Amino acid sequence: MRLSRYFLPVLKETPAEAQIASHRLMLRAGMIKQASAGIYSWLPLGYKVLKNIERIVHEEQQAAGHIPLLMPTLQPADLWRESGRYDAYGPEMLRIRDRHERDMLFGPTNEEMITDIFRSHVTSYRDLPMTLYHIQWKFRDEVRPRFGVMRGREFYMKDGYNFDVDREAALHAYNRHMVSYLRTYERMGIQAIPMRADSGPIGGEDTHEFLLLAETGESEVFYDTAITDLKLGARPIDYDSVADCQAIVDEWTAPYARTDETHDESLFDAVPEERRRVSRGIEVGQIFYFGTKYSEAMGATITNSEGQVVPVHMGSHGIGVSRLVGAIIEANHDDKGIIWPEGVAPFHCGIVNLRQGDGDCDAICARIEAELMTAGLDPLYDDRDERAGAKFATMDLIGLPWRITVGPRGLKNGVVELTSRRTGESEELPVEAAVDRLVQIYSS
Ligand code: P5A
Residue nearest to atom 30 of ligand 1 (CA): 285
pLDDT at 225: 98
Concatenated DSSP letters of 81-109: HHHTHHHHTGGGSEEEE-TT--EEEE-S-
pLDDT at 342: 97
Alpha carbon of 220 to ligand 1 centroid (Å): 17
Residue nearest to atom 15 of ligand 1 (CA): 320
- Identify the H or E element spanning 207: strand 206-213
Q: How far apart are the first and last CA of the chain?
A: 24
Residue nearest to atom 8 of ligand 1 (CA): 318
Burial classification of residue 28, based on how many CB atoms lie within 10 Å of its CB (0-12 exposed, 13-18 middle, 19 or more buried)? buried
pLDDT at 354: 97
CB 191 within 8 Å of CB 223: no
* Torsions phi, psi for 140 (to 5 deg): -130, 120
- Angstrom distance (rounded) from CA 368 to CA 40: 35
Residue nearest to atom 2 of ligand 1 (CA): 318
Beta-carbon count within 10 A of 255 CB: 17
- Angstrom distance (rounded) from CA 386 to CA 149: 31
Residue nearest to atom 16 of ligand 1 (CA): 320
pLDDT at 241: 98
Dihedral sign for Cα atoms in the order 124, 125, 126, 130: positive
Alpha carbon of 285 to ligand 1 centroid (Å): 7
Ligand 1, closest atom to CA 324? 28
Ligand 1, closest atom to CA 108? 4
Alpha carbon of 51 to ligand 1 centroid (Å): 18
Pocket of ligand 1 from Cβ distances under 6 Å: 109, 140, 142, 151-152, 155, 157, 159, 202, 283-286, 288, 316-318, 320, 322-323
Alpha carbon of 165 to ligand 1 centroid (Å): 26
Alpha carbon of 298 to ligand 1 centroid (Å): 23
Q: How many CA atoms, within 13 angstroms, populate the side-chain half-sphere of residue 45?
A: 28
- Write down the pTM of the prediction: 0.97
pLDDT at 17: 86
Q: What is the pLDDT along the chain (444 residues), one digit of tens a residue?
A: 999 999 999 998 888 889 999 999 999 999 999 999 999 999 999 999 999 999 999 999 999 999 999 999 999 999 999 999 999 999 999 999 999 999 999 999 999 999 999 999 999 999 999 999 999 999 999 999 999 999 999 999 999 999 999 999 999 999 999 999 999 999 999 999 999 998 888 777 789 999 999 999 999 999 999 999 999 999 999 999 999 999 999 999 999 999 999 999 999 999 999 999 999 999 999 999 999 999 999 999 999 999 999 999 999 999 999 999 999 999 999 999 999 999 999 999 999 999 999 999 999 999 999 999 999 999 999 999 999 999 999 999 999 999 999 999 999 999 999 999 999 999 999 999 999 999 999 998
The whole-angstrom distance between residue 28's C-alpha and the CA centroid of its chain comes to 21
Ligand 1, closest atom to CA 145? 23
User: Angle at CA 133, nearest 5°, toward 331 and 240?
Assistant: 90
Give me the residues paired with residue 212 across strands.
Answer: 192, 282
Alpha carbon of 297 to ligand 1 centroid (Å): 23
Alpha carbon of 206 to ligand 1 centroid (Å): 16
DSSP H helical segments within 15-163, as ranges? Answer: 21-28, 44-63, 77-83, 85-88, 111-121
Residue nearest to atom 25 of ligand 1 (CA): 151
Q: Which of 177, 319, 323 to mutate to test the pocket of ligand 1 (most atoms within 8 A of CB)?
A: 323
Residue nearest to atom 12 of ligand 1 (CA): 318
CB 132 within 8 Å of CB 61: no
pLDDT at 14: 86
Query: Nearest CA to 282 among 326, 331, 217?
Result: 217
Alpha carbon of 203 to ligand 1 centroid (Å): 13
Burial classification of residue 337, based on how many CB atoms lie within 10 Å of its CB (0-12 exposed, 13-18 middle, 19 or more buried)? buried
pLDDT at 205: 77
Burial classification of residue 439, based on how many CB atoms lie within 10 Å of its CB (0-12 exposed, 13-18 middle, 19 or more buried)? middle
